[in-house]
Structure formats: structure tokens, C-alpha cells
Structure 1
């Protein structure tokens, strides 16, 4: 899948996620301009358990994967 402006596409996708999921994904992947952070650091920064952070990451990855699949199917139809 290609995009004319990948950064804008990613930003748009992230905006569709629940705020807590978005915050954790952005922080763990360093999309906020800071170096990527591990579960322990993100949990401490967001004041939640590592298990909760892990669950939010999994939920976000699942949601983003679903969107990519849908976009890929739409592109194949064109």
C-alpha cells in the first residue's frame, strides 16, 4: 500500500484511535519526537500498569491492521 503523504495518512489513522490507545502507541514508537519508550517507562509516564499498556498496544495494533486490510481491499477493487 502506498500513499502520497505517508505521515498525513499515519496521523489520520492515529486520530481515529481512542485517546489512550493513541497516546500509548505514539509514546512506545517514538512518534512524539522522543526516543521510543518501553512498557515500563510508558506505564510510569501514563500512570497505568504494564499489563494495561500492553493491552492498549495490542488493541491499537489490531485496529490499525484492520484499517490497512480494508484500505488494501478497496485498492484492489480499483
Structure 2
């Protein structure tokens, strides 16, 4: 998570996207982003669909390595179930 500052740009307001984020999502100057406003006030920006199966698999492998393996939820429910 990163806090971004809102700045004046002509008669509008703008948010700068950090270069690291720009590289990760693969956008360039002039590209369009899809903006959505959530019910909770969250502003979500989505880059054009440039989905890569290889990049997704690499990210999931990395995230999986960071998650500790615990006991199976199903096994835990079976142990706690009372008949």
C-alpha cells in the first residue's frame, strides 16, 4: 500500500503513479485506465488487459511460498464435527 498525493492539473486534480507501479502494470503515457468507484469510497484503477499466464504463474508461485502451510480446513472441520 502506498499513499499518493493529489495535485492540481489545469482545472482537474491528478494522482501520480509511481514508476515502479507503471512498469509492473505495463502502461505508457497516453494509455487509458478503467476507473471504478466502490461503495466504500475506494477508487480502483485497472490497466488494459495484458494478462500473461507466465507472469501470473510466477506471481502465484511466489505468493504460495510466502504462505505458511497449516492443517487442512476440511480435516479440521472433520475433527471438530460432533455427530
TM-score over 0.5 (shorter chain):
no
Larger helix fraction of residues? 1
Q: What TM-score do you get using the length of structure 2 for normalisation?
A: 0.28
Q: Which structure is richer in relative contact order (CA contacts within 8 A, separation 6 or more)? A: 1
> TM-score w.r.t. structure 1 length?
0.29
Greater strand share, 1 or 2?
2
Which of 1 and 2 has greater Rg?
2
